[in-house]
Structure 1
Amino acid sequence: MSPKQPPPIRIAAALLTDAAGRLLLVRKRGTLAFMQPGGKIEPQEEPVAALVRELGEELGLAVPASALRPVGRFTAPAANEPGFTVEAELFAITTTARPVPAAEIEEIRWVEPAMAEDLPLAPLTRHHVLPLHRPAVGRPAARAPEH
């Protein structure tokens, strides 16, 4: 008999880029892996609302829901919860605002896609986000207002 697999952790995450096409990655306090900004979707919360909330809490960004462009839903092993998977609703956004690490975020980095490969990355970032980001560089994306 195999052990029962725990339910996936539902998250909303941002493929957040700047005007130069660099990707923003975050590292939570007490962890090693860099990942997309975002977080867990609360019960009864819509993914877009969760991401707007998380971007405000984690990075001090005031992002209107209308600025988020849906990319898709992706599943990967959780970076910080062994034995769990994340089911991520991924949204793209380009911003000129300056994010500031807050809440549980210890470090943020703007990275070129090739540079990101050398960092310790969450599985979602390495296997889904980076391959999506490479062809997206140079393509216009929704913009968040400057704050």
Structure 2
Amino acid sequence: MGEGELGGAEAVLIDTVAWVRVEGGRVLCARPRGKDVFYVPGGKREPGESDLATLVREIEEELTVRLDPATAVHLGTYEAEVPGLPSAVVRMSCYTARYAGTLAPSSEIEETDWFSYADRPLVPPVDQLLFDDLRAAGELR
């Protein structure tokens, strides 16, 4: 038997990339259609896709703007369990980057909002780790 076949299921890793846009002490968050939770915008990597390719594709799909990958800066990578799925862990690689266009929810996003640190309980655990770091850096009020 191979490793992980005994003693329970191995954790499933959900590999994501997120765009961190902070303005006026608040971070941009989005709520997908059919969901009741806000997330920092971004999404899952497709096979063989780099962080920046994922980031540009996902943000264009979700917020109708084009990120400039030449301006991307890695802020950090966070991991946390997925609520309700104890055997799943989400990894979120976070980047800032400049954009062109007008921020607007796409067909897959119900709404966007700007969250302060007080809104931290409204986002998933992995996003909360980012909120903590943004607050510690003086970026989030």
Instruction: State the TM-score, normalizing by the size of structure 1.
Output: 0.79
Q: Which runs of 5+ in 2 are unaligned?
A: 1-5
* Structure 2 residue aligned with 1:70: 74
Matches within 5 A, 1:2-41: 2-18=7-23, 20-41=24-45
Q: Which runs of 5+ in 1 are unaligned?
A: 139-147
- Matched residue type, 1:8: L
- The number of equivalent residue pairs is 133
Match of 2:126 among 124, 127, 132: 124
What is the CA distance between 1:96 and its match in structure 2? 8.7
Structure 1 residue matching 2:10: 3-state secondary structure: coil
Per-residue deviation, residues 8-59 of structure 1 (Å, max 9, x unmatched): 01110122112x2321011112222211100000110001110111110100
> Sequence identity of aligned pairs in percent?
27
Report which of the two has the higher share of strand: 2
What is the CA distance between 1:136 and its match in structure 2? 4.4
Structure 1 vs Structure 2 CA RMSD:
2.3
Structure 2 residue matching 1:8: 3-state secondary structure: strand
Structure 1 residue matching 2:12: 3-state secondary structure: coil
* Structure 1 residue aligned with 2:90: 86
What is the CA distance between 1:95 and its match in structure 2? 6.0
CA distance in 1 between counterparts of 2:130 and 2:102 reads: 21
Q: Judging changes above 3 Å, is the alpha-carbon distance between structure 1 residues 55 and 136 closer, same or farther for their aligned structure 2 residues?
A: farther
